[in-house]
Amino acid sequence: GEDVEQSLFLSVREGDSSVINCTYTDSSSTYLYWYKQEPGAGLQLLTYIFSNMDMKQDQRLTVLLNKKDKHLSLRIADTQTGDSAIYFCAEAAFSSGSARQLTFGSGTQLTVLP
């Protein structure tokens, strides 16, 4: 079955880089996602990566994918207090056409210290 694992907590100093890690088990996953959730809010899609890619960069965000080890990471450069949130990684399985069932990790609580 599918399983996605993340560490629960990460604390960093403002201005430092944050690296949030995720491991997944479904080798057939073709898309992997990172979402951000602020308190009391829904999930905001940050970025996603195709499984045939090694890296994707989008402004302060860098996603690295090691498909051999089934390891995904999200690096946030110059972390700000506004980046404090829960970050979820998710893998997609396709079914019923292009419906994408996402399997989520438990989330990593990022705390940015001043």
Partner 1 sequence: DAGITQSPRHKVTETGTPVTLRCHQTENHRYMYWYRQDPGHGLRLIHYSYGVKDTDKGEVSDGYSVSRSKTEDFLLTLESATSSQTSVYFCAISEDTKYEQYFGPGTRLTVT
CA 34-92-75 angle, 5° bins = 20
For residues 29-51, one letter each, b for 16 or more C-beta atoms within 10 angstroms of the residue's C-beta and e for the rest, the string is beebbbbbeeeeeebeebbebeb
Q: How far apart, in whole angstroms, are the C-alpha atoms of residue 73 and residue 17?
A: 12
Q: How far is the CB of 8 from partner 1 (least distance, A)?
A: 9
Tokens 């899609």 found at = 45
Determine if 28 is a binding residue for partner 1 (CB under 8 A).
Answer: no
Q: How far is the CB of 81 from partner 1 (least distance, A)?
A: 22
Q: Stretches 11-19, 53-61, 65-73, 98-106: which one binds partner 1 (CB under 8 A)?
A: 98-106
Q: Which is nearer to partner 1, 45 or 113 (CB)?
A: 45
Within 52-91, the residues that bind partner 1 by CB under 8 A are 88, 90
The binding site for partner 1 (CB under 8 A) comprises 4, 31, 33, 35, 41-45, 48, 88, 90, 92, 95-107
